[in-house]
Structure 1
Amino acid sequence: MAFLKGQIRKALSGFYYVYAEGETFQTRARGNFRNRKITPLVGDEVIFESDNVTDGYLLEILPRQNELVRPPVANVDQGVIVMSMVEPNFSYNLLDRFLVTLEEKGIEPIIYLTKVDLLTGTEAVSVASVEKIYTQIGYPVIAAKNEDDRQAVQELEQYFPERLTVFMGQSGAGKSTLLNKISPELQLATNEISESLGRGKHTTRHVELLPLYDGLVADTPGFSSIDFLEMTLTELPKRFPEFVEAAPACKFRECMHHKEPGCEVKHQVETGAIAQTRYDNYLQFRLEIENRRPIYKKK
């Protein structure tokens, strides 16, 4: 038996398809994985043994840099957050949820705005205001005029080489449509927004990593809504890069930027250096974490 190191690119019906040395090997997990409560994930770097490409066994999962639940992928480098400007309407709150979650996982965000051509100018949020807030923090923002905006897609594609990328964002914002544009062979099922529900139907299947533009892209759009199940109150402010930058000037070293006097973050919100929407969302996320029911883990 040859021992090899590779990466799981697809998981389906109990089989793990591992890419190693230019080939794909079909493998199964050893029984002791279940006993040790280890679930191999797409994106995992693994050690496996195999005599041929259809008959291998996973022996060990190497340490992960991160993992996502939806889609179930490990070792993600960047997340493309697809946000619609209209139908569904843009939400600062939802975008900040995605950003905070990616920051917690150490995943670099890219913000991709869709349906820009449908803006009439009467909406509460403009592309310029979104770009101003988030590029100032350091996040890339790409605005696609419409589904066929080739320039926006090309701008996005330049981020793919050497990275593992996942897509996420609002239901109905066009994640599947965008993935199909980037890689027509995907043919992801794209559903119209369900008028009665006002949100997109789930069209996701198993997860597979596809080699695209010298990188890897998960072929399944990820979560479209988020609650902070595991984050603590002390972790939350560390997920806002502009708060982290301002914090050394706060009067108290462990300032939570809430009710403390001499808070530099609150001062910067007053002067407009930090966006009011970001601070308001921070306070709301704090409340959600405070009001979260304790999770009792079975021993």
Structure 2
Amino acid sequence: MLEGIIIKGIGGFYYVKVENKVYECRARGLFRKNKTIPLTGDRVLIRVNEEDNTGYVEQILDRITELKRPPVSNVNQAIIVFAAQKPEPNLWLLDRFLLLASYQELDVIICINKYDLDTDGKADEIYNIYHNAGYKIVKTSCETKQGIDEIKDLLKDKITVFAGPSGVGKSTLLNNIQSNLKLQTGDISHKTSRGKHTTRHVELIELDLGGWVVDTPGFSTLDIDFLNEKELQYYFIEIFDKSNSCRFSGCSHHKEPGCAVKEAVDNGEISKLRYENYLSMLQEIKDIRRY
């Protein structure tokens, strides 16, 4: 058997790259019986028919990580892409992406794309909020080529998922990183100011510089029903760091007295926007648990 990596799956077929060849494979019925679905990014063992370059996936090797949305495995890091403008940045959605990536124990980088459109300083404000919270941030522009080399360095020898809403320029950014990709790019809908979906399936793309990236469909929402109320604070870096100074060990940082997090919000140490997003998610989790 040969060992390879699934680079995409479409309609029950899995395309497995082994060195310089790609084999079109079906999955063994055993996987369906065990309710196991091969994922893009899986390292697999395949049995090959050399006459027509087809084969069967015989075994899925142990996964390092597994994401639900997008469905992909063995990712090392997530680059979460948002636009400075067009579309308008949605920090509530950004915080959900950050939460999901942190929950999966991925290294997280925030990419603020289309930085050349930041004429009113809002993108700089966002940069300061998340830089102060402890996140790594890269400013990029495909027009001016700002930050492209920095992104390339981050991608080298990693498996990276690009996530973020539609229209923020993920595909254009990847095309600038490697010009022969020629990924389809979408315009912004003038009616809704949102991006039009261009990526139709999850695909692993090999980079000439070394490493892989996952180009994924855009998202508008992410479920957090896997969390409980106490766990939520772990995924807000600055809130969790400050929680050690709260009067009560079980503080949820909402209505409790002597809360160091609320004090930090009041004195500007923690972003009010981030804190409000935390409270919104806290209420969402409570509502889910109630039902």
For the criterion TM > 0.5, the same-fold answer is: yes
Matching residue of 2:212: 216
Please give the per-residue CA displacement for 1:87-115, whole angstroms capped at 9, x wherever unaligned: 22122222112111211122222111123
Q: CA RMSD in A?
A: 2.3
Query: Are 1:96 and 2:95 matched, yes or no?
Result: yes
* Counterpart secondary structure, 2:16: strand
Query: Are 1:157 and 2:152 matched, yes or no?
Result: yes
Taking only the aligned residue pairs, the percentage that are identical comes to 43
Q: Is the 8 A contact 1:207 1:218 kept in 2?
A: yes
Q: Is the 8 A contact 1:116 1:127 kept in 2?
A: yes
Matching residue of 2:6: 8
Matching residue of 1:182: 177
Shift of 1:21: 5.0
Shift of 1:219: 3.1
Give the whole-Å Cα distance in 2 for the aligned partners of 1:294 and 1:51. 54
Output the amino acid matched with 1:200.
Answer: G
Q: Give the direction of change, closer, same or farther, for the CA distance of 1:217–1:95 in structure 2 (3 Å limit).
A: same
Deviates more, 1:51-60 or 1:89-98: 51-60
Q: Give the direction of change, closer, same or farther, for the CA distance of 1:92–1:205 in structure 2 (3 Å limit).
A: closer
* Counterpart secondary structure, 1:292: helix
Shift of 1:187: 2.0
Matching residue of 1:108: 107
Q: Is the 8 A contact 2:197 2:218 kept in 1?
A: no
What is the TM-score when the length of structure 2 is the normalising length?
0.89
Query: Are 1:31 and 2:29 matched, yes or no?
Result: yes
Give the whole-Å Cα distance in 2 for the aligned partners of 1:258 and 1:208. 41
2:201 to 206, 211, 222: 206
Q: Is the 8 A contact 1:65 1:74 kept in 2?
A: yes
Query: Are 1:248 and 2:237 matched, yes or no?
Result: no
Give the whole-Å Cα distance in 1 for the aligned partners of 2:40 and 2:185. 23
Deviates more, 1:18-27 or 1:180-189: 18-27
Matching residue of 1:61: 60
* Counterpart secondary structure, 2:24: strand
Deviates more, 1:104-113 or 1:66-75: 66-75
Shift of 1:23: 4.2
Matching residue of 1:232: 228
Q: Give the direction of change, closer, same or farther, for the CA distance of 1:78–1:222 in structure 2 (3 Å limit).
A: farther
Shift of 1:294: 7.1
Give the whole-Å Cα distance in 2 for the aligned partners of 1:27 and 1:170. 31
Q: Is the 8 A contact 1:186 1:219 kept in 2?
A: no
Shift of 1:285: 1.0
Give the whole-Å Cα distance in 1 for the aligned partners of 2:63 and 2:243. 30
Matching residue of 1:71: 70
Shift of 1:165: 0.9
Give the whole-Å Cα distance in 1 for the aligned partners of 2:246 and 2:2. 51
Unaligned runs of 5+ in 1: none
Matching residue of 1:148: 143
* Correspondence 1:45-60 to 2 at 5 A: 45-50=43-48, 52=50, 54-60=53-59
